[in-house]
């Protein structure tokens, strides 16, 4: 029998990381065994399940590369089928109508638990069981005639031919009810696997207030989809050896349900950031340039007159300092702005130091006359100058760095000068001198 898994979110406008992680595991499992991965939109809450909310689910999945087999099933289209099954259950005596003590106005349909213990083997948690007296009957059709989650969920899984239900830990209790429905229908239940929750530092379910909680937020912050995918996959699962940075394909090859842990875990943003850097190293310069450009546009830092060659040179120069696409705009904005601000502390420490401005003037003279203007030539010229002035390189490097970038941190000074070019470098030093230099 072909394995078929599914992701069954209710479109609310946001896709929570815990939820998408369930999707990732379903996808990984299906791909690993050569099965199918399907999508079902549980859109019965018509108010929240807007077209946009559905699109958000689709976008998040596409971004992470979770390709779906078959056509997505919209639960709202299955109502007739749900009611049909409810009637069947009523007819076979597995459900009954109730009208007293109702929350709603009319009659509701209640599923009758079988009165015996129910147990099943969870693919990650092992054998689970529940005593008959600890389970009670539950409503499957509301008094307004609409099917309840348990009914729709099970019926749709049957309709879709789902063989493995991989979902969050918060569904384990529901599973006993669901299995009872399968039994009442005379159908074999699928295999179940319940994944541990992603929690915050307090051990509570990870939520919006704990930081970025939705897929879209990670995308906006400049994270790579493969990095988020990798990190989320590793939250509760590990291949068994010390392998951590993996491609989707590697994970597909290695993924098995029995290596999924059963304890909740926390998402560490610092490690996610590191992971992102690792995946960034695996991308080519072209992709990084494109990613940085897109990020700067989102940040509102992109300028229409940007020289593509210069932009590319800057990205290349920043190299592995870029951990996130948004880093370029946040840490290297000075490259693109001739009116860049000066970091006060660096100015005090490097520029206003005894003799620093005099050295800077000498450097200006040397650089203005330098030809060609490369990382090697500027390096050599400044070393020669240091020798001539009887100063250490540190005395020349620090003021110059602040003069051309406004800050004490950044790429290597000589690479930076070469990228900026002579004219820009000279103009920046002159600007600095006009601001901080004492009148000669």
Partner RNA sequence: GACCCCAUCGUCUAGAGGUCUAGGACACCAGGUUUUCAUCCUGGUAACACGGGUUCGAUUCCCGUUGGGGUCGCCA
Which parts of 196-255 interact with RNA (CB under 7 A)?
A: 196-197, 199, 201-205, 234-236, 238, 240-242, 244
14/174 with CB nearer RNA: 174
Nearer to RNA, 163 or 231 (CB): 231
- The span from the CA of 221 to the CA of 214, in Å, is 11
Residue closer to RNA, measured from CB, 131 or 303: 131
Q: Kindly state the number of chain residues that form the binding site for RNA, as judged by CB under 7 A.
A: 75
Options 98, 159, 256, 430; binder of RNA; rule CB under 7 A: 98
> Interface with RNA includes 134 (CB under 7 A)?
yes
Residue 144, token pair as written in the block: 């307004």
Q: Which is nearer to RNA, 259 or 297 (CB)?
A: 259
What's the closest the beta carbon of residue 199 comes to RNA, in angstroms? 7
Pairing of strands 118-122, 126-130: antiparallel
**What residues from 137 to 176 belong to the interface with RNA (CB under 7 A)?**
138-139, 142-144, 146, 148-150, 169-174
The nearest distance, CB 188 to RNA, in angstroms, is 22
Question: At closest approach, how far in Å is the CB of 285 from RNA?
Answer: 16
DSSP 8-state class, residue 223:
-
Q: Are 334 and 340 in contact (CB under 8 A)?
A: yes
67-96: contacts with RNA (CB under 7 A): none
Inter-residue contact 378 to 434 (CB < 8 Å):
no
Contact stretch for RNA (CB under 7 A) within 20-28, 66-74, 134-142, 363-371: 134-142
Q: How many helices (H) and strands (E) does the chain have?
A: 17, 12
Interacting positions 338-367 with RNA (CB under 7 A) = none
CB of 365 to RNA, least distance (A): 18
Strand order through the sheet with 4-7: 73-74, 36-41, 4-7, 164-168, 191-195, 118-122, 126-130
- Is 412 a residue that touches RNA (CB under 7 A)? yes
Name which of 357, 366, 368 is nearest 437 in CA terms.
357
> In angstroms, what is the minimal distance from the CB of 108 to RNA?
4
Q: At its nearest, how many Å lie between RNA and the CB of residue 439?
A: 28
CB of 42 to RNA, least distance (A): 4
Closest CA to 30 of 7, 57, 56: 7
State the nearest-atom distance from the C-beta of 70 to RNA, in Å: 20
Give residue for tokens 């800057």: 314
CA 309 – CA 315 distance, rounded (Å): 10
User: Which of 238, 430 has the CB closer to RNA?
Assistant: 238
Which 308-337 residues touch RNA, going by CB under 7 A? Answer: 320-321
Identify the burial level of 362 via C-beta atoms within 10 angstroms of its C-beta, where 0-12 means exposed, 13-18 middle and 19 or more buried.
middle
Nearer to RNA, 184 or 235 (CB): 235
CB of 240 to RNA, least distance (A): 5
**In Å, what is the CA distance from 368 to each residue of 52, 348, 350, 377, 403?**
57, 25, 21, 12, 14
Among residues 65, 88, 116, 131, which is the contact residue for RNA, using CB under 7 A?
Answer: 131
Tell me: does residue 44 bind RNA (CB under 7 A): yes
H-type helices in 33-171, by residue range? 51-64, 79-91, 149-160
Alpha-carbon gap, residue 53 to 58, rounded angstroms: 9
Q: Stretches 38-46, 179-187, 296-304, 336-344: which one binds RNA (CB under 7 A)?
A: 38-46
**Does 261 interact with RNA (rule: CB under 7 A)?**
yes
Of positions 36, 42, 157, 327, contacts RNA by CB under 7 A: 42
Burial of 375 from C-beta contacts in 10 A (0-12 / 13-18 / 19+): middle
Q: How far is the CB of 335 from RNA (least distance, A)?
A: 14
CA-to-CA distance for 360 and 358, rounded, in angstroms? Answer: 5
The C-alpha atoms of residue 39 and residue 356 are separated, in whole angstroms, by 65
Q: Which of 116, 271, 345, 348 binds RNA (CB under 7 A)?
A: 271
Of 2, 45, 283, 384, the one binding RNA by CB under 7 A: 45
């Amino acid at each position: 029998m072909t394995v078929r898994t599914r992701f069954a979110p209710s479109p609310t406008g946001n896709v929570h990381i815990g939820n998408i992680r369930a999707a990732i595991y379903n996808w990984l499992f299906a791909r690993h065994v050569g099965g199918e991965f399907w999508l079902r939109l549980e859109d019965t809450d018509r108010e929240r399940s807007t077209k946009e909310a559905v699109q958000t689910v689709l976008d998040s999945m596409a971004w992470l590369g979770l390709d779906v087999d078959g056509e997505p099933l919209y639960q709202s289209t299955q109502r007739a089928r749900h009611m049909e099954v409810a009637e069947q259950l009523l007819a076979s005596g597995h459900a009954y109508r109730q009208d007293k003590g109702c929350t709603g106005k009319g009659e509701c349909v209640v599923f009758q638990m079988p009165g015996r213990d129910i147990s099943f083997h969870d693919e990650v948690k092992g054998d689970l069981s529940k005593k008959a007296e600890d389970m009670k009957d539950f409503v499957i059709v509301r008094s307004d005639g609409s099917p309840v989650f348990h009914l729709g969920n099970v019926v749709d899984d049957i309709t879709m031919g789902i063989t493995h239900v991989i979902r969050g830990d918060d569904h384990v209790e529901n599973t006993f009810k669901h299995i009872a429905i399968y039994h009442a229908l005379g159908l074999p239940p699928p295999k179940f696997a319940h994944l541990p929750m992603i929690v915050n530092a307090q051990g509570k379910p990870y939520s919006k207030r704990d930081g970025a909680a939705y897929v879209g937020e990670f995308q906006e912050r400049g994270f790579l989809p493969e990095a988020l995918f990798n990190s989320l996959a590793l939250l509760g699962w590990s291949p068994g050896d010390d392998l951590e940075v993996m491609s989707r394909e590697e994970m597909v090859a290695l993924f098995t349900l029995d290596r999924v842990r059963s304890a909740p875990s926390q998402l560490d943003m610092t490690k996610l950031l590191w992971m992102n850097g690792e995946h960034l190293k695996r991308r080519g310069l072209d992709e990084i340039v494109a990613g940085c450009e897109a990020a700067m546009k989102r940040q509102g830092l992109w300028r229409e007159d940007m020289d593509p060659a210069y932009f590319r040179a800057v990205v290349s120069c920043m190299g592995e300092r870029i951990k996130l696409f948004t880093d370029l705009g946040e840490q290297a904005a000075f490259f693109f702005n001739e009116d860049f601000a000066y970091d006060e502390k660096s100015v005090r420490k490097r520029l206003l130091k005894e003799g620093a401005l005099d050295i800077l003037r000498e450097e200006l003279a040397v650089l203005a006359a330098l030809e060609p203007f490369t990382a090697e030539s500027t390096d050599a010229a400044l070393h020669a100058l240091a020798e001539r002035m009887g100063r250490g390189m540190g005395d020349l490097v620090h003021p110059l760095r602040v003069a051309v970038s406004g800050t004490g941190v950044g790429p290597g000074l000589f690479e930076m000068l070469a990228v900026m070019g002579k004219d820009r470098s000279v103009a920046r030093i002159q600007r600095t001198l006009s601001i901080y230099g004492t009148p000669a």
